[in-house]
Structure 1
Amino acid sequence: MSTMQAVQTKSPSFEEVVHGRRSVRHYDPTFKISKEEMTELLTEALRAPSSSNLQPWRLLVIDSPELKQKLLPIAFNQQQVADASAVIAVLGDVESYKLADTIYNRAYEAGHMSAETKDAFIANTTKNYGSLPPEIARKIVYTDGGLISMQIMLSAKARGYDTVPMGGYNPQQFTEAFGIGERYVPIMLIAIGKASQEGHSSVRLTVDEVVRWNEFDF
């Protein structure tokens, strides 16, 4: 099957994307998402919000058959790792503040802030985030990593692809096997590809069951 095969001819509505997304664990192993389309998909996902816009996520796209086989036992032999087009490892950079210069200078050059604001943001962000206790820094990148993970899955579904977020893997073995440095925190794996079986339908609690207005009286 061609890697350039068009999956969608018409963009689905947001409602169709949200209601159509499923956690899919059975994939067509012959289907391959091209690097070009994966890049477009991830470019959309990078629009996710983050603390102080530091964008601490780092993504490792594993689409080599050999490397997926290497990952398979680390992910407890879940077959979607081998059969999906790719597995995206979402990691958090606890030293993302070191890119504050790059981020805020680009914002200044794009006309989004004044030079004075840019300089203040760089100084304050570098100081504040650089002195965070490790547990707080990790909490921030976990939160931001969750935001981009959901964005990846919605962007994938909008393109006709399927995903499943995976917490079932050995993070220590993963970082060792793929040479991940200590500044990067494994957050989750996301298998992505074309389903060979539809994901199971599921139910959700209602708004009345999980939401309160003004008074938290659960």
Structure 2
Amino acid sequence: MEKNLSQQFKEEIKLKNNDFKDIVFNRRSIKSFDSNVKISHEEMHEIIESAAKAPSSVNMQPWRFVVVESKEGKEKLRPLIRFNTNQNDTSSAMIIIFGDMKCYEKAEKIYGKAVEKDLMPENVKKELMNFFMPAYENATREKMNDIVKIDSSLSAMQLMLVARSHGYDTNAIGGFEEDKLAEAFELDPERYVPVVIIAIGKGNKTSYESVRLDVEDIISFK
């Protein structure tokens, strides 16, 4: 069977870094990038596809990615990100991660695909759908907001680590105009809530190493 372009690209990709410890422990927040470095759509597709392997509540995958890379897109984003304009101006792209408050509408597609691939029996699919769908459909906005933001944050962290394995640097940005972001990019603000923006590109400045609280300060055993 002839391979599609996506499969061929995956096989051709050579990760710049496959050292788990280096990827995790030497990741830094980079706020200035080489503006001449552009990430291709094919590689961005691969990075986000890998990030989307993150876990989510009942596998509803509520994350939605808007990759802002064009001059026009960045100009639209610039006034909405407060003191983070340098990342916007120099990065290869600004990836806005939204949480879909109606992510459960894709439940049939997700679980149906699992059945098609023989990963789940049809009767188990029906049981799961009957169990969680009413809970999601009847959840308060506050509850759904918590669900989609927690799940989308997991994909954001995974995206930053995957990006590092591709040789890119990132900066997670939480300072933005939450009430204006979705509408600015033609999304329904009632349905799509902004979670985080990830600046991605090739860093051109050395970052400072940061410190963390001692484990004794953050752990307890009961």
TM-score by length of 2: 0.89
Residue from 89, 95, 105 that aligns with 1:98:
105
Could you tell me how far apart the structure 2 residues matched to 1:31 and 1:21 are? 19
Structure-2 change in CA distance of 1:9 and 1:50 (3 Å): closer
Name the CA shift for 1:163/1:7 in 2 (closer, same or farther; >3 Å). farther
- Equivalent position to 2:60, from 54, 60, 64: 54
Q: Tell me by how many angstroms 1:17 deviates.
A: 0.3
User: Which stretches in structure 2 are left out of the alignment for 5+ residues?
Assistant: 1-11
Q: Is 2:215 the counterpart of 1:207?
A: yes
**Alignment coverage as a number of residue pairs:** 209
SS at match of 1:91: strand
Structure 1 stretches lacking a partner, 5+ long: 1-5
Q: Which amino acid aligns with 2:71?
A: P
Q: How does 1:35-50 map to 2 (within 5 A)?
A: 35-50=41-56
Matched-pair contact (CA < 8 Å) for 2:96–2:198: yes
Which residue type is aligned with residue 75 of structure 1?
I
2:96 counterpart of 1:89: yes
**Cα distance, 1:175 vs structure 2:** 2.0
Matched residue, 1:129? 136
Shift of the 164–74 alpha-carbon distance from structure 1 to 2, 3 Å rule, reads same
Question: Which position in structure 1 is the counterpart of 2:29?
Answer: 23
Report deviation, 1:171: 1.4
Counterpart for residue 3 of structure 1? none
Once the two structures are superposed, residues 75-97 of structure 1 have per-residue CA deviations (whole angstroms, 9 ceiling, x without a partner) of 12521112100000010011111
Are 1:172 and 2:183 counterparts?
no
Deviation at 1:105?
0.7
Amino acid in the other structure paired with 1:147:
L
Match of 2:7 in 1: none
1:185 aligns with 2:193: yes
Report if aligned partners of 1:60, 1:90 keep a CA contact under 8 Å in 2.
yes
Counterpart contact for 1:51–1:144, Cα < 8 Å: yes
Three-state SS of the structure 2 residue aligned to 1:61 is strand
CA gap of 1:8–1:208, structure 2 versus 1, over 3 A, is: farther
TM-score, normalization by structure 1: 0.91
* Residues 76 and 169, structure 1, Cα contact 8 Å, conserved in 2: yes
Secondary structure in 2 matching 1:92: strand
Offset, 1:8:
6.2
Does residue 116 of the first structure (1) align with residue 93 of the second (2)?
no
Seen in structure 2, the aligned counterparts of structure 1 residues 38 and 206 have a Cα distance that, compared at 3 Å, is: same
Secondary structure of the 2:18 match is coil
Q: 1:40 to 1:7 in 2, by over 3 A?
A: closer
The aligned counterpart of 2:4 is: none
- Maintained 8 Å contact 1:12/1:158: yes
Kept after mapping to 2: 8 A contact 1:8/1:160: no
**Shift of residue 179, structure 1, vs aligned partner:** 1.5
User: Is the contact made by 1:98 and 1:126 (CA closer than 8 Å) also made in structure 2?
Assistant: no
Give the RMSD, CA atoms, in angstroms: 1.6
CA distance in 2, matches of 1:82, 1:184: 25
Deviates more, 1:199-208 or 1:182-191: 199-208
CA distance in 1, matches of 2:141, 2:55: 21
CA contact (8 A) 1:72 1:79 kept: no
For residues 115-170 of structure 1, give each alpha carbon's deviation from its aligned partner in whole angstroms, at most 9, with x where no partner exists.
10011222222211001011001000110011001001010011110000101111
Equivalent residue, structure 2, for 1:196: 204
1:153 counterpart = 2:174? no
